[in-house]
A and B are shown apart, each in its own frame.
Chain A
Amino acid sequence: MSDKTEVNLTGVKQSKGLWLVKVPKYLSQQWDKAREKGEVGKITIGKKQGKTEVRFSLNEELTALGAVGEMDASLQVPKDHPFTMHAVGGQTMAVFSQSDTDEISLEGTVVHRAECRPVVDDNYMKLKKLQIKESTKPQRLSQQLERAITTVFKPVANHDFNVEYEKKKKSEGKMVRAERQVVLDMLFSAFEKHQYYNIKDLVDITKQPVTYLKELMREIGTYNSKGAHKSTWELKPEYRHYQSAEEEEEMQTA
């Protein structure tokens, strides 16, 4: 909600009339293939017996379904597309654009709506058939295998993971009880950060044997067996001094 962008209203002021045209997917795909200049075709606006007729004809080079430049004779996108025009009919539709720099400008209002329809011929029907075939293909396929796969899940003497674990254990060695005061310091600093701790987490933090830790915690803290923070340890009230933002804990010598 922070950046309020001033909308550039120049487009609307000029009352530029815009057309909103619905274009079939395949046609837009072809347009994407257009060359740098961007010319895709021609529009013919004519008056036939009093009625305005708009037709769009696709450029020759874009009719091929394949890559640009190929003249694939097999399947071609229809070239001729008459537009069906509708009036906007009371609904106000405006066009606004958003640039990369998050600038918003109102381009104009829509004065006409149109639908681009292809001329239906055999070629188009073939195209549609192809499309349908593709869309009905399931995304996932069940395939039967002739031979069983033997490359995974080979029996192993000792799993890699396990081996690593044991190595680590050996290197670290058993957890040694450090000085009482040192450990207490560690605990207090930990409790400065959070109020509730699991014993496992404390072991992780202090690297002390569980029994030693438990002994210390019994001294300075309490165990929550019920409530929101179940099975967690917290400092005894006299040891904690939580403030809203930061904590200043007052340590009382044991």
Chain B
Amino acid sequence: MTSLGSSSSSATEYTVRVPKNTSKKYNIMAFNSGDRVNCSTWTQARMERDMSARRIYGEEETQEGAAGSEFGKKQREEARRKKFGIVTREFKVEDQPWILKVNGKAGKRFKGQKKGGVTENASYYIFTQCPDGAFEAFPVHGWYNFTPLAKHRTLTAEEAEEEWGRRNKVVNHFSIMLQRRFREQERGEDDEDEGEKSGKKKKKGGGRGGDLRIHDLEDDLEMSSDDSDSSMGDDGESKTKAKKPTGKGKGKKKRKSNEHEALEDSDDGDYEGLEVDYMSDESSSDDEPEKGKPSKGEDLPKGIDEASESEEESEEEKQNEEEAKEEEEEEEGKKTPVQVEKKKKKDSSGESDSSDDSDIEGETASALFMKKRTPPKRGGGRGSAGSSRTGSRPGTPSIDSASTSNTLRAAASKLEQGKRQPQPATDSPAAKRLKMEPSSQSPAPSGKSTPQPPSGKSTPSSSDVQLTEEAVRRYLIRKPMTTKDLLKKFQTKRTGLSSEQTVNVLAQILKRLNPERKNVNDKMHFYLTE
């Protein structure tokens, strides 16, 4: 090694040697930068060729002399292939990928695929510095790109296709892998591993393996809404996370909450779309605009919902929705954007099942958005509250209550208010009751400030339709209508009344008219015959 000193630079010279007689073939093991592989942390490594492709190339040997074999079959097959020009590539061991196992059984696994075309136009050399200072250059024989292998269970292509088709129906995505494991267990494949893994997952899922057990879910429903509250906000993102099977500890919690969310969400979503909400929006415009964005968003879809609701909902459901609405209001603040969507999609859920396989997002409703029957427990639990509220129709529209802020406290106080003012329970059909109920609570807790001018509240402005007994009578004579239909006729914008007022007045009118009832399409219709 000679060192040269020169004026502006200092240079050291080293000789380069290209050893001739190396028995070793050098290869490059390239990792992806994102994988953050640090070779110095490896304590132990094993590497072997991945020979799984051999059976594709090698002909399947039917046993000589076994039943079903033909004389000279091989030759015939070969001749046939040649005739058709089918050229099968030779199976070269050199080109097979490597399987690298680091740190034993619990460590990482990598698959190294050979990169082609490396030695075609330029040659790569590895320069190492020897102890004597000279460089030695070794030619690179091959280049392998090593990628980490997933250790968790993955779905096969067919299964993945299947699940994709069902993605809108399936609520709990974590269960997909569990069920797969169950299936495998039954088939008796690879038992210990499976059992371990499924056991782990079961523990983590907190008995989520009881996907097969329905009552599990119902148990969860009983859990306080607080639980779901905390994770409500993460609704969107947790769902995407759910799909990654790597979610373990986190996954567990989110899994649970997902289920709650899912069910409760859908329940709440159902109850949201009450016509009363729409009316209440009007009244709440008097309030300070509380939640600007989320509530605004809710107005429009609510309106749409209202329009389509008369076709769908039964009054029974309405009642249940009412009761659960209370709960929903509590959670309002945290999940309004989700609710917006839900309302939109609620009614389309029925029709959209057929378009399962379409990839268009947002059009088909997810199971989360589907209307679900209220679990009886909840209905029962709320029943008492509801009935107390039923009788709590305030004489005057509770404008004051409307002005309270959208908080749990507000809702609770509302309830109390309602209870404190017992009203003669009307013997009118449930519809009326429902209307009255939300009217008492809806204004404030819903906290929806509407962009509509507050003026409409005080005095009926000049409009086409007046909410009079005469008008109602006219309608009912013409054809049977549900309460919702009637309400639609007397839209708050036109009558100038607040939604609450409309409801009250309409109820009174109906009481006076005492129309006859008829059940059409499971809905209670009123009509008069005169």
Please, which residues of chain B bring their CB within 8 A of the CB of A193?
Answer: 64-65, 71
Please, which residues of chain B bring their CB within 8 A of the CB of A195?
Answer: 66-70
Please, which residues of chain A bring their CB within 8 A of the CB of B66?
Answer: 195, 242, 244-245
Which of B12, B24, B72, B101 makes the CB contact (< 8 A) with A97? B24
Q: Which residue of B lies closest to A3 (CB)?
A: B48
B52 in the interface (beta carbon within 8 A)? yes
A93 in the interface (beta carbon within 8 A)? yes
Interchain nearest-CB distance for B367 vs A (Å): 42
Interchain nearest-CB distance for B518 vs A (Å): 69
Q: Which of B25-33, B180-188, B248-256, B298-306 lies at the interface?
A: B25-33
In the bound complex, do residue A97 and residue B27 qualify as a contact, i.e. CB atoms below 8 Å apart?
Answer: yes
B459 in the interface (beta carbon within 8 A)? no
A100 in the interface (beta carbon within 8 A)? yes
Please, which residues of chain B bring their CB within 8 A of the CB of A31?
Answer: 18, 137
In the bound complex, do residue B20 and residue A36 qualify as a contact, i.e. CB atoms below 8 Å apart?
Answer: yes
In the bound complex, do residue A1 and residue B48 qualify as a contact, i.e. CB atoms below 8 Å apart?
Answer: yes
Which of B11, B16, B39 makes the CB contact (< 8 A) with A106? B39
B9 in the interface (beta carbon within 8 A)? yes
Interchain nearest-CB distance for B496 vs A (Å): 68
In the bound complex, do residue B69 and residue A194 qualify as a contact, i.e. CB atoms below 8 Å apart?
Answer: yes
In the bound complex, do residue A95 and residue B51 qualify as a contact, i.e. CB atoms below 8 Å apart?
Answer: no
Chain B interface main SS type = strand
Please, which residues of chain A bring their CB within 8 A of the CB of B391?
Answer: none
In the bound complex, do residue B12 and residue A45 qualify as a contact, i.e. CB atoms below 8 Å apart?
Answer: yes
Q: Which residue of A lies closest to B35 (CB)?
A: A92
Interchain nearest-CB distance for A152 vs B (Å): 25
Interface residues of B in 7-61 (CB under 8 A from A): 8-20, 23-33, 35-40, 42-52
CA distance A245 to B36 in the complex (A): 52
In the bound complex, do residue A95 and residue B28 qualify as a contact, i.e. CB atoms below 8 Å apart?
Answer: yes
In the bound complex, do residue B12 and residue A246 qualify as a contact, i.e. CB atoms below 8 Å apart?
Answer: no
In the bound complex, do residue B18 and residue A34 qualify as a contact, i.e. CB atoms below 8 Å apart?
Answer: yes
In the bound complex, do residue B24 and residue A98 qualify as a contact, i.e. CB atoms below 8 Å apart?
Answer: yes
Please, which residues of chain A bring their CB within 8 A of the CB of B52?
Answer: 1
In the bound complex, do residue B8 and residue A7 qualify as a contact, i.e. CB atoms below 8 Å apart?
Answer: no
In the bound complex, do residue B71 and residue A6 qualify as a contact, i.e. CB atoms below 8 Å apart?
Answer: no
Interface residues of B in 109-161 (CB under 8 A from A): 121-129, 135, 137, 139-141
Interface residues of A in 228-254 (CB under 8 A from B): 229, 232, 242, 244-247
Q: Which of A15-23, A155-163, A209-217 lies at the interface?
A: A15-23
Encoded as 1 (CB less than 8 Å from any B CB) or 0, chain A from 89 to 128 comes to 1111111111110001111111000100000000000000
In the bound complex, do residue A38 and residue B9 qualify as a contact, i.e. CB atoms below 8 Å apart?
Answer: no
A198 in the interface (beta carbon within 8 A)? yes
Interchain nearest-CB distance for A11 vs B (Å): 9
Please, which residues of chain A bring their CB within 8 A of the CB of B519?
Answer: none
Interchain nearest-CB distance for B524 vs A (Å): 69
In the bound complex, do residue B9 and residue A109 qualify as a contact, i.e. CB atoms below 8 Å apart?
Answer: no
In the bound complex, do residue A98 and residue B25 qualify as a contact, i.e. CB atoms below 8 Å apart?
Answer: yes
Number of B residues, CB within 8 Å of A: 69
Q: Which of A46-54, A70-78, A142-150, A166-174 lies at the interface?
A: A46-54
A218 in the interface (beta carbon within 8 A)? no
In the bound complex, do residue A47 and residue B28 qualify as a contact, i.e. CB atoms below 8 Å apart?
Answer: no
Interface residues of A in 25-54 (CB under 8 A from B): 25, 28, 31-32, 34, 36-49, 53
A197 in the interface (beta carbon within 8 A)? yes
Please, which residues of chain B bring their CB within 8 A of the CB of A56?
Answer: 16
Please, which residues of chain B bring their CB within 8 A of the CB of A18?
Answer: 126-128
Which of A16, A43, A247 makes the CB contact (< 8 A) with B65? A247
Q: Which residue of B lies closest to A190 (CB)?
A: B71
A12 in the interface (beta carbon within 8 A)? yes
In the bound complex, do residue A20 and residue B45 qualify as a contact, i.e. CB atoms below 8 Å apart?
Answer: no
Interchain nearest-CB distance for A2 vs B (Å): 8
In the bound complex, do residue B125 and residue A25 qualify as a contact, i.e. CB atoms below 8 Å apart?
Answer: no
CA distance A20 to B35 in the complex (A): 21
CA distance A93 to B143 in the complex (A): 10
A13 in the interface (beta carbon within 8 A)? yes
Interface residues of B in 64-99 (CB under 8 A from A): 64-72
CA distance A91 to B72 in the complex (A): 54
Please, which residues of chain B bring their CB within 8 A of the CB of A188?
Answer: none
19 additional A-B pairs beyond A7-B100, A28-B123, beta carbons within 8 Å, are A1-B52, A5-B48, A9-B42, A9-B45, A12-B39, A12-B40, A19-B127, A20-B28, A20-B140, A21-B137, A41-B15, A47-B9, A47-B10, A95-B26, A106-B39, A108-B128, A109-B39, A194-B71, A232-B70
25 contacts between A and B (CB under 8 A): A4-B46, A4-B101, A9-B39, A18-B126, A25-B123, A28-B125, A36-B20, A38-B19, A40-B17, A42-B16, A48-B8, A49-B8, A91-B30, A94-B29, A95-B27, A100-B24, A192-B65, A194-B64, A194-B65, A201-B72, A232-B70, A242-B66, A246-B65, A247-B65, A247-B67
Which residues in B have some Cβ–Cβ distance to A below 8 Å?
A: 4, 6, 8-20, 23-33, 35-40, 42-52, 63-72, 100-101, 121-129, 135, 137, 139-141
Which residues in A have some Cβ–Cβ distance to B below 8 Å?
A: 1-7, 9, 12-13, 15-25, 28, 31-32, 34, 36-49, 53, 56, 89-100, 104-110, 114, 190, 192-198, 201, 229, 232, 242, 244-247
Q: Which 8 A-B pairs have the closest CB atoms?
A: A46-B11, A90-B33, A242-B67, A19-B127, A7-B45, A28-B123, A97-B24, A196-B70
